[in-house]
Amino acid sequence: MSNRPSASGERAAIIGYSAQYCIAAEVIYSALAAGELEWIALADPDAGRVDDIQVATLGRLDAYQVKWGEQIGRLSFNDLTSGNGDPDLSQSYGLIGQLAGGWHKLKRAHLGRRVVVHLVTRDIATDSSSAIIPHDDNTVSKANLQGFLTDCWVDRNWSIQGLGGCPIGWSPALIELKSASGIDEATFTSFIRDCELPYQAHHPHAMDCGEKKPSKRLPLSSFERLGLISESSNSNGTNCWLAWVGRSGLLPILFMSST
């Protein structure tokens, strides 16, 4: 038996960071292609647990918490409402508390923008009938997290009326989510409209990202105007531009063109 230490921790970290970079590239590219990108932040300590990626566009800030494991797993209602929440919201718990805490921080820091927080994960919302989720009778979909997201989160226009306007049968689940968020009911109904929860895995395995071809080439001026690129030449006469995104240059993106 080998005495070498297990590399599972390092492997998990690489997979997690690869997913973050790949998803960051995707959302940043989309904003650039639409001509809407204003600024980008990665690993922002002031964003709470939605610090992985921030993309600012006109009047809006999208902030992402990326949770990506080696295997596709199941996301449960218990994951949303149990465990550590946001340290600055003392009564918050679980992933919903982390998202609410980050949303609350960013709302105060960016008063002129709508802040939308995203949970991005490789896991799929559980559809198991044995998964416990609070509910009353007569829910339209099955009483599991996937059913809850289908009935309550795909279309959240009901939230304008407050929690009392929720789809039939789901009031107990929403009350528990509100409790775990650590914020009051009025604030929570606003948070609902600005919180994107995953119905299913957002993206293929992070290691597959390199095989995806962009549908549109962006002019280098898109990056030059943001001060993100520097130019050099290699021995083959090819000009190379390296874009560094984020406070610490965490996301390098390489562009090349022949002279």
pLDDT tens profile 12-37: 556 556 677 788 888 888 888 888 88
Same domain as 47, residue 127: yes
Please, which pLDDT band fits residue 180 given cuts at 50, 70 and 90?
A: very high
User: Any idea what the Cα angle at residue 75 is, between residues 69 and 78, rounded to 5°?
Assistant: 125
Residues in CB range of 210: below 8 A, 6 or more apart: none
Bridge partners (DSSP) listed for residue 211: none
Residue 2: inside a domain, yes or no?
Answer: no
DSSP 26-84: HHHHHHHHTT---EEEES-GGGTT--SEEEEETTEEEEEEEE--SS--EE-HHHHHSSB
Same domain as 225, residue 121: no
Measured CA to CA, the distance from residue 233 to residue 231 in angstroms comes to 7
Domain termination residue (choose one: 209, 227, 247): 209
Same domain as 193, residue 143: yes
Residue 22: inside a domain, yes or no?
Answer: yes
Q: For residue 247, what are the domain limits?
A: 217-258
Same domain as 182, residue 86: yes
Report which of 40, 16, 45 is spatially closest to residue 28, judged by C-alpha positions.
40
- pLDDT tens per residue across span 117-175: 999 888 888 887 777 799 998 899 999 999 999 999 999 999 999 999 999 999 999 99
Query: Cα 258 from chain centroid?
Result: 36
Same domain as 247, residue 119: no
Domain total for the chain? 2
- pLDDT tens per residue across span 66-99: 887 777 788 899 999 999 999 988 899 999 999 9
Same domain as 237, residue 137: no
Same domain as 225, residue 197: no
* Contact status, residue 166 vs residue 158, Cβ threshold 8 Å: yes
- pLDDT tens per residue across span 186-204: 999 999 999 999 855 444 4
Same domain as 240, residue 144: no
Please state the φ and ψ torsions of residue 93, each to the nearest 5 degrees.
Answer: -145, 150
